[in-house]
Amino acid sequence: MRCCHICKLPGRVMGIRVLRFSLVVILVLLLVAGALTTLLPTVKEDKMLMLRREIKSQGKSTLDSFTLIMQTYNRTDLLLKLLNHYQAVPNLHKVIVVWNNIGEKTPDELWNSLGPHPIPVIFKQQTANRMRNRLQVFPELETNAVLMVDDDTLISTPDLVFAFSVWQQFPDQIVGFVPRKHVPTSSGIYNYGSFEMQAPGSGNGDQYSMVLIGASFFNSKYLELFQRQPAAVHALIDDTQNCDDIAMNFIIAKHIGKTSGIFVKPVNMDNLEKETNSGYSGMWHRAEHALQRSYCINKLVNIYDSMPLKYSNIMISQFGFPYANYKRKM
Amino acid sequence: MRCCHICKLPGRVMGIRVLRFSLVVILVLLLVAGALTTLLPTVKEDKMLMLRREIKSQGKSTLDSFTLIMQTYNRTDLLLKLLNHYQAVPNLHKVIVVWNNIGEKTPDELWNSLGPHPIPVIFKQQTANRMRNRLQVFPELETNAVLMVDDDTLISTPDLVFAFSVWQQFPDQIVGFVPRKHVPTSSGIYNYGSFEMQAPGSGNGDQYSMVLIGASFFNSKYLELFQRQPAAVHALIDDTQNCDDIAMNFIIAKHIGKTSGIFVKPVNMDNLEKETNSGYSGMWHRAEHALQRSYCINKLVNIYDSMPLKYSNIMISQFGFPYANYKRKM
C-alpha cells in the first residue's frame, strides 16, 4: 500500500506529542518532588549556623569554646580586675569589651604592656553610651556561644566550666546564674520580680521565667535575632537604658516556644560593685529601676501582642561539687 | 487523499503507546515519591506509642499520669504502709504490685475491705520469685510513664510530683533519685560504685552514669525493650537475682545514645527496711551484692560488646523548694 503523505505526519506529530508529553511529565515529577520536600524536617537555624561557624581558630574548635562579651562604663578598675580572672577560664576563645566610655581612650596600650595574654581581648570603642551596645553582631565573634557578664560580676571558674557544659546540652536556651520572673496580676497587668514575689499556681516552691543575660551563656545567633526585632523594642531599651535582658528573654522564648532559660545555681559568684574607686554603682541602684522592669514587661507584651515567657522550676547544680552536695541530710 | 488502513493504525497504536507511556510515568512518579519518603524523619517509637496509648481512663489522660510498679517479697507490712502513702500521689493512674510471695495469697481481700481507694491497685501473683518480674509488659499498664519503687522506699509526694514533671521534659531518660556510676580501671575491667569512688577525668566534682530504677520514672515502652533483649541478659539477672537496674541503664543508654538517666536530688526520701516485722532486710545486704554489681557490668559489656553508659554531672533540684534553696550563702 502506498503510504499517504498523511501517514508520515503522525510520525512527526507523535514525535512532537511525545516530546510535549515528556515535558509535562518532567514538570509534574518536579512539582511532586517539590511538594514532598515540604515534608522534610526544617534544618534548624542553629545547626546551620554551627556548620558555617566551624572555624578552627587558635587551636580551639569554635564549637567547643565561647566568647566573653563584657560591656563597661565608668568602672575600668573593676574591668581590669575581672579581665585578669576571666582571661584564664578554660574554653574561652576571645574577649570583646564593649567600651561605653565615650570620648575616653580604650586601655589597649596598658593591656598590651601587660602581655602576653592567654587569649585576644578586643576593646570596641562605642559611639554612644547605650545599654544595647553589647547586643551587636560583632564581626570578631567566631564562636557559637557567648558568655555575657556584667562588668561588676565575678563568676568562679568551676561555675563557668560547668555552666558551659550545660549550655552545650541546651544550646537554644540562656544558661545562667540569675533567675527572675514575671507575675500576672488580677488586672491583667504583669509585674517583674525575684524570689520574694509569689509564682502563680498552687504547687510547691517557686518558678522563674527569665534568666538574666548579664551572667549567662547563650547562642551567638541570638545577637542577630535581637537586631532583627521591631524598632519599638530597640527604642524601649534606649529610652529606659534598661531591659535589654528582659527583651532577650521575650525574643528567645517566642523563638523556641519554650522557657527561655535554664537556671544553674552558682557556687561562687560575687558582685564587686562596692570595690570600685569610681564611685559609680550601677544602673540597678536608680530609684526607678525595678518599676522600669515591670513597665518594660508590659510594653513588650504590647509590642509582641503576647506573653511568650514560660515558667520553669528546674534548678541545675553540679553533681558532687562542692563535695558530696547530693548527700541527704539525715 | 485516501487514508490507508495504516493511517488508522497509528491512531490506535499511538493510543496504546500513550497509554503505555502514561503507565510508565505514573510508575516513575510513584518511585520518586517513595524514594523521597526515605528522607522523612523517622517517627520516634515513643511518639507512636504515645499516640496509641492515648486512652482517657478514670478522667486522667494517660499522657499526664503514671503507673506505680512495686515488686514485693516478704515485707507485706512495709508494702501496705507504702501503699497508703503512694495511693494519694497526684497524677497516679494505677498501682501494679508484683507479688513475689509465691504460694501466698495476695492481700486483695484485706485491700478491698479497707476501701474505697483513690486509684485501682492490682496484685499480680507471680509463678517464681524473680527479680526481673517487675520488668514485664503488664497488660494493665496504660500510661506512658512508669514509677518504679522498691518495697522499702518512701519518697515524699513533692519529690514525686517534681520528678514526674522533669520526666515529662525528658521522657526518653530514667529520671530518678539514686545515682551510681561505673569506673574503668587500668586493666580495662569495670567497677561499680557510688560517690565514694572517683569518677574518671580531671574535672571538679563527681559523675554518675546510671540512675537506679528502684526509685525512678521511666518510659513504659522500655519494658518492651527489656523483654526484647538477648536471653543472656535475662539469664544474668536470674542467676544473680540482681542487676536488673544496671541492665536497664545499659539498654536505655544504648538505645538513646546518651546518658541513660537524670538525677533529681530528693528532698525527703527514706528507706524503711528497719521498720519491717518480717526480719527480712533486702537483697543489698547480701555479702556478695556489691561485687555482683561490678560482675554484672563486665558481663553486660561482654554481651553487648560495648560500654554504652555515659557520664553526667547534672543534678536537678526544684527551684525554691525547700524555700529559698537557691539563695547564695554569703
- B32-45 pLDDT, tens digit per residue, is 877 776 666 554 44
For residue A164, is pLDDT > 80?
yes
- Give pLDDT, residue B53: 45
Out of A36, A161, A195, closest to residue B33 by CB:
A36
Q: Where are the domains of chain B?
A: 63-316
Residues 6+ apart with CB under 8 A from B7: A4, A6, A7, A10
- Give pLDDT, residue B281: 77
Backbone phi, then psi, for B183, in 5-degree steps?
A: -125, 135
- B159-216 pLDDT, tens digit per residue, is 999 999 999 999 999 999 999 999 999 999 999 999 888 888 868 899 999 999 999 9
Mean pLDDT over B252-273 rounds to 97
Q: What percent of chain B has pLDDT over 70?
A: 87
- Give pLDDT, residue B329: 54
Distance from CA of B34 to the nearest CA of A (A): 10
Please indicate if any CB of chain A lies within 8 Å of the CB of B214. no
For residue A216, is pLDDT > 70?
yes
- A77-92 pLDDT, tens digit per residue, is 999 999 999 999 999 9
Please indicate if any CB of chain A lies within 8 Å of the CB of B208. yes
- List active site positions of B: 245
Distance from CA of B187 to the nearest CA of A (A): 26
Please indicate if any CB of chain B lies within 8 Å of the CB of A326. yes
| Cβ–Cβ gap A313/B321 under 8 Å | yes
For residue A214, is pLDDT > 90?
yes
- Give pLDDT, residue B54: 44
| Cβ–Cβ gap A166/B314 under 8 Å | yes
More confident site: A279 or A108: A108
Mean pLDDT over A302-320 rounds to 97
Closest CA to A22 of B21, B147, B152: B21
| Cβ–Cβ gap A10/B10 under 8 Å | yes
Q: Is A80 in a helix, a strand, or coil?
A: helix
For residue B217, is pLDDT > 90?
yes
Please indicate if any CB of chain A lies within 8 Å of the CB of B319. yes
Contacts of B195 in chain A (CB under 8 A): 320, 324, 326-327
- List active site positions of A: 245
Distance from CA of A41 to the nearest CA of B (A): 7
Out of B32, B204, B315, closest to residue A29 by CB:
B32
Whether the Cβ atoms of residue B97 and residue B72 lie closer than 8 Å to each other: yes
Whether the Cβ atoms of residue B70 and residue B146 lie closer than 8 Å to each other: no
The mean-pLDDT minimum among A45-54, A276-285, A321-330, B293-302 falls in A45-54
- Give pLDDT, residue A18: 76
| Cβ–Cβ gap A204/B161 under 8 Å | yes
Mean of all residue pLDDT scores within chain B: 89
Encode burial over B287-302: b for 16+ CB neighbours within 10 A, e otherwise: eeeeebbbbbbbbbbe
- Give pLDDT, residue A9: 53
Mean pLDDT over B47-71 rounds to 66
Give the span between the Cα atoms of A136 and A31, in whole angstroms: 41
User: A55: pLDDT confidence band, cut at 50, 70 and 90?
Assistant: very low
User: A330: pLDDT confidence band, cut at 50, 70 and 90?
Assistant: very low
Residues 173-202 of A with CB under 8 A from B: 179, 195, 199
Distance from CA of B56 to the nearest CA of A (A): 24
Please indicate if any CB of chain B lies within 8 Å of the CB of A325. yes
| Cβ–Cβ gap A204/B321 under 8 Å | yes
The CATH classification of domain B63-316, taken from the options 3.90.550.10, 2.30.40.10, 3.40.50.720, 3.10.20.740:
3.90.550.10
Contacts of A209 in chain B (CB under 8 A): none
User: B10: pLDDT confidence band, cut at 50, 70 and 90?
Assistant: low
Give the span between the Cα atoms of A95 and A88, in whole angstroms: 11
Contacts of A321 in chain B (CB under 8 A): 204-206, 313
Helix/strand/coil (H/E/C) assignment for every residue in chain B: CCCCHHHHHHHHHHHHHHHHHHHHHHHHHHHHHHHHHCCCCCCCHHHHHHHHCCCEECCEECCCCEEEEEEECCCHHHHHHHHHHHCCCCCEEEEEEEECCCCCCCCHHHHHHCCCCCCCEEEEECCCCCHHHHHCCCCCCCCCEEEEECCCEEECHHHHHHHHHHHHHCCCCEEECCEEEEEECCCCCEEEECCCCCCCCCCCCCCECEECCCEEEEECHHHHHHHCCCHHHHHHHHHHCCCHHHHHHHHHHHHHCCCCEEEECCCCEEECHHHCCCCCCCHHHCCCHHHHHHHHHHHHHHHHCCCCCCCECEEEEECCCCCCCCCCCC
Distance from CA of B105 to the nearest CA of A (A): 37
Please indicate if any CB of chain B lies within 8 Å of the CB of A231. no
> Bridge partners of A215?
A149
More confident site: B282 or A99: A99
For residue B108, is pLDDT > 90?
yes
For residue A321, is pLDDT > 50?
yes
Mean pLDDT over B244-270 rounds to 98
The two beta strands, B179-184 and B210-211, are antiparallel
Give the span between the Cα atoms of A132 and A227, in whole angstroms: 10
For residue A191, is pLDDT > 50?
yes
Residues 19-38 of B with CB under 8 A from A: 21, 25, 28-29, 32-33, 36-37
Mean pLDDT over A109-127 rounds to 97
Residues 285-314 of A with CB under 8 A from B: 312-314
How far separated are the first and last CA of chain B, in Å rounded?
110
